[in-house]
Amino acid sequence: MEKAKRTEIKELGEFGLIDRLTSDIKTQHKSTVKGVGDDAAVLDFGENYLLISTDMLIENIHFDLSYAPLAHLGYKAISSNVSDIAAMNGIPKQVVVSIGLSNRFSVEAAEKLYEGIKFACQDFKLDLIGGDTTSSPSGLVISVSITGEVEHKKLALRKGAKEKDIVCVTGDLGGAFIGLEVLSREKQVFISNPDMQPELDKYNYIVQRQLKPVARMDIIYELRDLGLVPTSMIDISDGLASELHHLSKNSGVGFRVYEDKIPLDKQTYDTSVEFNIDPITSAMNGGEDYELLFTIDHKDFEKIEKHPDIHFIGYATKMEEGLVLETKNGNEVKIQAQGFQHFN
């Protein structure tokens, strides 16, 4: 008898696995405009598109309760879903929240989680319309699904960037990643000596970036007021490098970005140096910033030229030119999805 083939999931990675499981899926309904492959699915039920997205958070994979307060975690679970609707240039409307709880959790603990969930629903004007509650063999699982709406003409996909479009990034990058480094270091210190109190004051901004990220709906509303529709868009959940690859692959363009244009907060910069990490690596490869990466046509540049929180980091090129980072001293570095390697 022949032995069944066994492939380890780590050989494919997350994106490889999704591709393997979904590449042969064909949609059957005319209303399914976009299925697998973007930040949210796009469904056509008339005047506007309905957007749907879902995300699951699992204890000790996505969060560590020894430093993430439950209320913050609830907020983050909602905010990260809102970010996927923002990435489609949509307005979030409803959420469905499912939780699995082990007997380690009390009613009061569940209430704390919901404090954060409800606070985020207020913040982003969302109706919480249902969910599911179950026990879990160990630890906490949170799954959130979200709906949103966007007018047909305002939809922004990962596809759509064209050569010469300007690449824009909101806020600053790398903070959530380096904030997590600080939190894990302080946890180790605490485990080896429980009398040591963590010193987090000087890391306040980056720790907040990790624990309570705020989806950039403010930017989506502003773009609407300015009458600007990005030619392509994605939210930055896995690091700038990975998101540039998604836009590139879906749009069929390359990108040239400039190291000195990539927005870094001073605390992110200083703490990266403290951890012997190149600050630009924190921005390129660190995840969970939940900022927006988008491209615009040149004709729209003057509408946001002076915006204090939108940064112009480069432009789209021909696909053959690939993804290139031009460093401060003029070297060209090829942008890899994970980490990046020098040409020379």
Contact positions with ligand ADP (CB under 6 A) in 54-113: 55, 84
163 interacts with, out of ligand ADP, Mg ion, none, CB within 5 to 8 A per kind:
none
Q: How far is the CB of 80 from ligand ADP (least distance, A)?
A: 8
Query: Is the CB of 7 or the CB of 102 nearer to ligand ADP?
Result: 7
Q: Of the two residues 39 and 149, which places its CB atom closer to Mg ion in the complex?
A: 39
- Nearest alpha-carbon partner for 115 in 71, 77, 80: 71
Closest contact distance (angstroms) between CB of 124 and ligand ADP is 17
Classify residue 330 as left (phi > 0), alpha (psi -120 to 50) or beta.
left
Other CB atoms closer than 10 Å to residue 303's CB: what's the count? 15
Residue written as token pair 């039920």: 45
Q: Which stretch binds ligand ADP (CB under 6 A): 36-44, 203-211, 295-303, 318-326?
A: 36-44
Nearer to ligand ADP, 55 or 163 (CB): 55
The residue from 37, 139, 263, 322 that contacts ligand ADP (CB under 6 A) is 37
CA distance 226 to 303: 7
Minimum CB separation from ligand ADP for residue 198, in Å?
A: 30
8 Å CB contact between 252 and 241: no
Of residues 245, 217, 254, 247, the one with CA closest to residue 232: 247
Question: Footprint of Mg ion on this chain (CB under 5 A)?
Answer: 39, 84, 235
Residues 235-264 that bind ligand ADP (CB under 6 A): 237
Report the residue number, 77 or 333, with the smaller CB distance to ligand ADP: 77
Name which position in 16, 20, 32, 36 contacts ligand ADP (CB under 6 A).
36
Task: Compare residues 38 and 181 and give the one whose CB is closer to Mg ion.
Answer: 38
Minimum CB distance to Mg ion, residue 44 (Å) = 21
Binding mask 16-35 for ligand ADP (x = CB under 6 A): --x--xx-------------
- Please state the closest distance from residue 338 (CB atom) to ligand ADP, in A: 14
Whole-angstrom Cα distance, residue 157 to residue 141?
29
- Choose the one of Mg ion, ligand ADP, none that binds residue 265, judging by a C-beta under 5 to 8 angstroms depending on kind: none
Amino acid identity of residue 193, one-letter, is: N
Closest by CA position to 82, among listed 48, 142, 46, 39 = 39
Of 112, 68, 74, 110, residue with least CA distance to 95: 74
Q: How far is it, in rounded angstroms, from Cα 43 to Cα 41?
A: 7
- DSSP E strands, 70-219: 91-101, 127-135, 141-151, 166-170
Q: Which is nearer to Mg ion, 178 or 247 (CB)?
A: 247
Task: Give the span between the Cα atoms of 49 and 155, in whole angstroms.
Answer: 8
The number of residues that bind ligand ADP (CB under 6 A) is: 10
Q: Which residues bind ligand ADP (CB under 6 A)?
A: 18, 21-22, 36-39, 55, 84, 237
